[in-house]
Amino acid sequence: MSNLEISNISKCYEGREVLKNVGFKSSEKEFIVVVGPSGCGKSTLLKTIAGLTSVDAGRILIGEHDVTRSEPGDRDIAMVFQSYALYPHMTVAENMGFGLRMAGHPKQQIREAVEHAASILRITDYLDMRPKQLSGGQRQRVAIGRAITRSPAVFLFDEPLSNLDAALRTQMRVEIGQLYRRLDATMVYVTHDQVEAMTMATRIVLMNSGVIEQVGSPIELYTNPVNRFVAGFLGSPRMNFIEASVTEVNDDQIVVALEGLDDIRVARRHGVGVSRGDTVTLGIRPEEISVGRQRSHQLPARVELVEQLGREVIAYVDTGSIRAIESENGLGHLTIQVDRKSAMSRDDDIHIGFDAEDIYLFNADGMTMTPNRDTEKSPVHEVSEA
């Protein structure tokens, strides 16, 4: 029923490959979030699934049917656009019933479908209004309602929340999640916002310049990124990356050295190629760094900036010779995220520490060299006083 299978899709625009061999498959109802930076081909992928863009190679299956060459209207999909794309000259009810009306369904049936969708989205009061009389959030509801009316097997969303303000975005995020649980349909949801991806997805498809980097559940991608791009893309604040060199390699361990620190011994992913003297990237998430001296590796640091977020504190610290690459503020500061109770202020001299087991290593090609970890383990450590 809600089978969606995309295999080896490629798409060129003016000789430039925008999608390269993209594929994923879902055989049961799923909330798939396609996430990636702007311009990586997410919308193009969604439009190929919708049938609005033809593919150069590959196959698309929806339900039991090969729809690679079908018209959008014959694919059992409904699309929700970032810009809502409501017909301005029609009322909300007419907008929502448009698809069914074009398909020649009887009036009574259209009315029932529209009223049903409207009641799910709580927009029954607006049915006689025109789009321009509605707020952004209401328009987005109508656009979603228009999709529900046709009860498709697959819903396609293209950044539906990015025109809304922050509060409304959070609210709609929850509502779309509820909608998903209520409907018997697979959703493919495109966004550049990793928070939306982490919170909504049952499965994330993470894209970068036309290729899929990794597919998996949010916690899987967060805990076991296959490469540095995925590690850096998911998580806010971002993972810290530090350049380091390999001093010793054996079958199941890699030892890297950082100036002023004891040797860091991390587990080696089975079969990964590495040799002494290699330059690697060491990655550690801000929440894995704690303030104090209790971790296996410690170093002195100076607080440069503190962001008090209420629930937690994000601090940017200068660790002297150890510089973060591609750091959040571009100054080479490490980002740390600690409990709000940790009293810290600018120019404080503190000690920060981390455990070797929380370290990720990436080789020169960005591939992860550390083994997969248990996703059950809570990623956040208890934080103790400095």
Q: How far is Cα of residue 56 from the mean position of the Cα atoms in its chain?
A: 27
Q: Out of 6, 11, 29, 43, point to the residue binding Mg ion (CB under 5 A).
A: 43
185 interacts with ligand ADP by CB under 6 A: no
13 binds, among ligand ADP, another protein, Mg ion, none (CB under 5 to 8 A by kind): ligand ADP
The C-alpha atoms of residue 293 and residue 240 are separated, in whole angstroms, by 20
CB closer to ligand ADP out of 14 and 349: 14
Residue 18 lies near ligand ADP (rule: CB under 6 A): yes
**Closest separation in Å from C-beta 172 to ligand ADP:** 19
Count of positions on this chain that bind another protein (CB under 8 A): 34
Instruction: Write out the H or E segment, with its range, that includes residue 280.
Output: strand 279-284
Buried-state track 173-190, b at ≥16 Cβ within 10 A, e below 16: bebbeebbeebebbbbbb
d(CA 282, CA 298): 15
- Yes or no: say if 272 and 227 are a contact pair by the CB < 8 Å rule: no
Residue 71 binds another protein, judged by CB under 8 A: yes
* In the complex, minimum distance from the CB of residue 164 to ligand ADP, in angstroms, rounded to a whole number: 18
Residues 24-53 that bind ligand ADP (CB under 6 A): 36, 38-44
365 near another protein, rule: CB under 8 A: no
Residue type, 10: S
**For residue 196, what are its two tokens?**
């939306």
> At 301, is the secondary structure helix, strand, or coil?
strand
Q: Which of residues 37-56 bind another protein (CB under 8 A)?
A: 47, 50-52
Which of another protein, Mg ion, ligand ADP, none is residue 163 near (CB under 5 to 8 Å by kind)?
A: another protein
Question: Cα(86)–Cα(131) distance, rounded to whole angstroms?
Answer: 7
Query: Does an H or E element contain 249, and which?
Result: strand 240-250
Q: Does 2 bind Mg ion (CB under 5 A)?
A: no
Judged by beta carbon, residue 12 or residue 305, the one nearer ligand ADP is 12
Q: Are 345 and 307 in contact (CB under 8 A)?
A: no
The binding site for another protein (CB under 8 A) comprises 47, 50-52, 71-74, 77-79, 81, 83-89, 98-99, 102-103, 130-134, 136, 139, 146, 150, 163-164
